[in-house]
Amino acid sequence: MALDYEKLMAKSVIDLPFSYTSRDTMLYALSVGMGGDPLAAEELAYATELSGAPKTLPAMATVLVPDMFPPDLGWDYSQVLHAEQRLELFRPLPPAADLLVDKRVSAVYDRGPKHGALVLFEAEGRLKKDGTALFSIGNTIVARGDGGFGGPSGKGPQPHRVPRREPDLTADLPTRVDQALLYRLNGDWNPLHASPDAAAVVGFERPILHGLCTYGVACHAIVKTILGYDYTLITAFDARFSAPVLPGDTITTDMWQEGNVISFQCRAKERDVVVLRNGRCMLAT
């Protein structure tokens, strides 16, 4: 069934309630590798409540929008790939909150039968109690099996360019062999990340790590390596997904800092495969 452009562009949800607790905040931190060193007090401040309310990684905003990519949009859901993630933070995330979330399809581009369709989503989260804006999210999805539906052409947002020189800093963060099973407890139940059978159907020898988990590991690396674990400095965090991570891979994050812009990319170290490209982390000035 071909995509219905008008139906997609009309797809929106307003004032969707969503709540999370300190337990969810600690789970997210653990799922992107915080607490890997049991003696690092800076990481325990994210992964436990021992020093008070847990600190919040900015990338956690990506799991605070329920059902961001609903399967009922008329696309072939088995051929859908998450291509890009964008995040803007208006203030640091609280460790627990009741939210209201708005989400919508912001653009759909037809790249032809051979190249599929691009579907862009946007979401905004704000505090339920007073309407304070917390974050804005943008996602680019490639629907590989749904090009040629007769919609407008387009390329989506221009990617950030990473400097063409040796990185200023590099961080290696290992992933666990069961990391995808841990990360999916944040609410992404796609069987591709848990079922060997589902992974085999789309050509993988075993379940792969969520792209947004890799994104969270990159955020962890920058907070650890450049920001001295001060999560309040990040105001935006964007990246493109380029290859899957296998649970157990070491994720190497290369970083370049120019003023309040940190450019980054990630590699699966053992396989020497770039898994995240065009990364841009904006810092408060």
Query: Known catalytic residues?
Result: 188, 193
Spatial distance between the Cα atoms of 110 and 152, rounded to a whole number of angstroms: 6
Residue 200 contacts by C-beta under 8 Å, 6 or more apart in sequence?
A: none
Determine contact, residues 238/86, Cβ cutoff 8 Å. yes
Residue 73 contacts by C-beta under 8 Å, 6 or more apart in sequence?
A: 3, 8, 11, 105, 119
The encoded tokens of residue 87 equal: 């995040």
**120 to each of 46, 196, 218, how far by Cα in Å?**
31, 29, 22
Spatial distance between the Cα atoms of 147 and 151, rounded to a whole number of angstroms: 9
Half-sphere exposure at residue 27, Cβ-oriented, CA atoms within 13 angstroms: 16
Give alpha helix (H) positions in the chain. 5-9, 22-31, 41-47, 179-183, 196-201, 211-225
Looking at residue 219, the DSSP 8-state letter turns out to be H
> Of 144, 134, 172, nearest to 270 (Cα)?
172
Spatial distance between the Cα atoms of 84 and 214, rounded to a whole number of angstroms: 12
Spatial distance between the Cα atoms of 2 and 113, rounded to a whole number of angstroms: 11
